[in-house]
Chains A and B, each alone.
Chain A
């Protein structure tokens, strides 16, 4: 298979405008004749559903939650980037583009990232028009703050709830279209398969999570906006329901999966504290604007933080990276925290934590100012840990947060299956090997508001469609397969719970395919995953029936997919014999322990093709060419 990214010709700055002009348009009166399915209602899915319906398409929107407002975009805290340059610091579309390509360690497509930077400003305009209550300065203008990997303040925010407010904006636009009868909404539905007819994606099979009924929905195009796969690690900052199932089942139907080993470990999360723990909680990166990261200089120092004098503290990020300081990108900050703990300088009961200290900022700006900026985050920290961060430094440790890998898409956001589009975290396209803070919200909304509405039209005009309904035999065959899988899960009646297997898988992934990887560990992990998977299908216990509200069955299907997908991640990590961004193979590092890329051999997207169960997937490479930025060793010193 030859991967064609369909990147338009011409100078970088003109590609998107030119492409929009060249895309054929669907006659406004004809749009209502086309049905589009959108799966997922986060920033990408919500904004796409609303925008496509506004254009006149008939949209069917699905989500696993009880309401589209609950998609996990809602938990994003810190902010959204845009190149407005309201702060007069010299920001520009070019600088946002450059920072994002560099932050991603030169493993993203130039053309996609430049388009993202171009539409970033329009996103802010759109959200403000919807009534998103962004933070304001005294004069009533929009306020900005800084995030990692950038030396300008370009992040727009709504307290520590930016994701919530942006999602509610997209949800309100979606709700308006539901009220107008342009979007049909299907909450509490889980996509279990996509249906291909004549090689085109023509529909989906979903399970109604309340009744267990298997439903078929036909359309002219299917858009997946189903988020990331961080929960393969069991413990992550993702919501409990976040999963890889929709993306993975599309992969099994022929969509290529790109760079699955690119996962982001976020440096500022509340440390793990017990074996019963169900998830990890992020503390926004924005805290690194005012918080200073430190550990005791001497390993094994067990004194409480206020008893450790200034001279015996190591503010290691400020020391090692004087120009970016505490605001180095996430992968760099995470690896450094791990390195400190590996040297025995970790703090807290588990010694797997570092301090994030606000005392200087409180002394400098006053408690009021800090409370205004981060009040809700401090409260959340106190609720979970029973420690007051105004009085004592926070303890933080890296945790799985975001996945840069995802289904392979071309410049139009279409996967290798014609008519199957993929947006937001579910695709692989814009963040390379490491995502910068406040860029996920930007990408989700860029894809949904400003990219897919154009590119899907181009696809529809260029295709011919046979008339089908959800009674087509292809749907019946897919339903049979889906039912067989469910029956099998329910019939095992083994001795271990789904969560038990999930936790075991998560530990293997964290130990061997997490912050630092070795070839030996990855080989071992692959065998371990195969063993866990083997036992799962013989010994898992899934109580209840299909024909009811059955949360254990939901989880079982998702974990079954994670047990296959985890192995694909490990294979991808093994195939990439270099370090870059979030993928750190210990064999490839500079003298200063930074990730060492191998641009000669690995400057490509690794896209995996399913070859059948129990068969090795095929690896396809899309070369990345950089015509506008120079490949350099990233330096944040």
Chain B
């Protein structure tokens, strides 16, 4: 770890509330260690803003180890910045150079209204899961876990899909603000596993309907979602979602 310090110019989206119009403000970030994470850099800027009598920049974050899905902003036009497979909290300043200008904006999507500055409301994702992203099994009464055999490669594929952290980068990077990758990941995980099969048709239909209702756009195969997903969820999950949806429409009794 060889650490240096760099100076940066930040252009940050400031918006007091969902009703406010919002605009970019410029801040200097000085003496930033390249070992810092992007969010630690923002912490330092916020400490200065607070001591100068200004309001710190609001941004969502929690675990800071890339798993809770709470953080995420658009950095120079890219969701979570340009490093592949990286959440914003795991993006380190060593990927920036002295003198860089960095534009930082919130996720922009009709279904994700801005709360303040860089923080948005992603409650629509919860509503999608509530519409069918589960297996209907009450607590108690489950059979012995080893009675359900799952071939290793199926388990691996299900896990690949289940790795989604629900951060919303897929929606933010899609020109249509579509949630197909998010829904595709959940539908795939449960359609692949034997436990999820009984409700597969209902799940695909309910979740797609809910997605339309919440104001997410359609998928037009731009593949931006896959490119920006910090967990590198594959768009093959969207293909599987389409198959499940088609199958449900053609062969199931679900209305």
Contacts and interface: CB of A to CB of B under 8 A. Distances in A.
B133 to A, nearest CB: 6
A336 to B, nearest CB: 24
Contacts of B43: 276, 278, 499
B250 interface: no
Contacts of A50: 139
A134 interface: yes
Given A69-B166, A131-B190, A137-B152, A380 B65 contact: yes
Interface string A213-257: 000000000000000000000000101110000000000000000
Interface string A312-351: 0000000000000000000000000000000000000100
B125 interface: yes
Q: Which of B67, B162, B189 has the most CB of A within 10 A?
A: B67
Interface string B1-39: 101000000000000110000000000000001011101
B69 interface: yes
A281 B54 contact: no
Interface string A69-81: 1101011000000
A278 B155 contact: no
Nearest to A238: B63
B212 interface: no
Nearest to B139: A51
A100 B144 CA distance: 23
Contacts of B63: 70, 72, 74-75, 239-240
Contact of A173 (B33, B56, B134): B134
Interface in A155-209: 158-159, 161, 163-165, 168, 171-173, 175-176, 178-179, 185, 187
Contact of B155 (A134, A277, A497): A134
Contacts of A29: none
Contacts of B248: none
Contacts of B151: 136, 140
Given A136-B151, A552-B56, A172 B35 contact: no
Contact of B150 (A74, A140, A497): A140
Contact of A72 (B39, B51, B62, B196): B62
A168 B161 CA distance: 12
B239 interface: no
Interface in B79-136: 85-86, 90, 92, 94, 115-116, 119, 121-123, 125-126, 129-136
Given A129-B195, A276-B40, A175 B70 contact: no
Contact of B47 (A65, A84, A175, A497): A497
A454 to B, nearest CB: 10
Nearest to A395: B1
B58 A551 contact: yes
B217 interface: no
Given A70-B69, A142-B146, A159-B159, A386 B1 contact: yes
A171 B134 CA distance: 9
A18 B8 CA distance: 66
Nearest to A279: B64
A383 B51 CA distance: 31
Interface string B146-170: 1011111001001100110110000
Nearest to B66: A380
A130 B134 contact: yes
B240 interface: no
Contacts of A606: none
A141 interface: yes
B42 to A, nearest CB: 10
B60 to A, nearest CB: 6
A450 B193 CA distance: 25
Contact of B44 (A127, A134, A171, A276): A276
B253 interface: no
Contact of A139 (B40, B66, B130, B149): B149
B152 A75 contact: no
Nearest to A86: B146
Contact of A129 (B55, B129, B137): B137
A67 B123 contact: yes
B143 A125 contact: yes
A329 B131 CA distance: 43
A456 to B, nearest CB: 13
B137 A130 contact: yes
A239 B64 contact: yes
Interface residues of B, number: 78
Given A383-B90, A544-B55, A549-B115, A274 B36 contact: yes
A173 B134 CA distance: 7
Contacts of A173: 134, 137, 139
A410 interface: no
B138 interface: yes
Given A495-B51, A548-B16, A129 B142 contact: yes
Contact of B162 (A140, A165, A273, A497): A165
B218 interface: no
B94 A386 contact: yes
Contacts of B78: none
Contacts of A172: 129, 133-135
Nearest to B161: A133
Contact of B1 (A68, A179, A387, A499): A387
Interface in A22-74: 47, 50-51, 54, 65-70, 72, 74
Contact of B119 (A51, A168, A549, A552): A549
Contacts of B40: 276-278
Contact of A384 (B85, B90, B119, B193): B90
A497 B61 CA distance: 19
Contacts of B166: 67, 69-70
Contacts of B44: 276
Contacts of A383: 66, 86, 90, 92
The winner among B56, B139, B193 for most chain A CB atoms within 10 A is B139
A158 B60 CA distance: 27
A169 to B, nearest CB: 9
A281 B40 CA distance: 14
Nearest to A129: B142
A308 to B, nearest CB: 19
A544 B50 CA distance: 10
A72 B69 CA distance: 11
B68 interface: yes
A450 B139 contact: yes
Interface in A372-421: 379-380, 383-387
B152 A140 contact: yes
A128 B142 contact: yes
A54 B139 contact: yes
Nearest to A67: B126
Nearest to A177: B130
28 contacts: A72-B62, A84-B145, A124-B145, A126-B139, A131-B158, A131-B193, A131-B195, A133-B158, A134-B145, A136-B151, A163-B67, A168-B162, A237-B65, A240-B61, A240-B62, A273-B1, A279-B64, A279-B65, A281-B64, A282-B65, A384-B92, A453-B139, A497-B47, A543-B53, A548-B17, A549-B17, A549-B58, A551-B58
Interface of A: 47, 50-51, 54, 65-70, 72, 74-75, 84, 86, 122, 124-131, 133-142, 158-159, 161, 163-165, 168, 171-173, 175-176, 178-179, 185, 187, 210, 237, 239-241, 273-274, 276-279, 281-282, 349, 379-380, 383-387, 449-450, 453, 495, 497, 499-500, 541, 543-544, 548-549, 551-552
The 5 closest A-B pairs by CB, nearest first: A140-B149, A172-B134, A179-B130, A129-B142, A125-B142
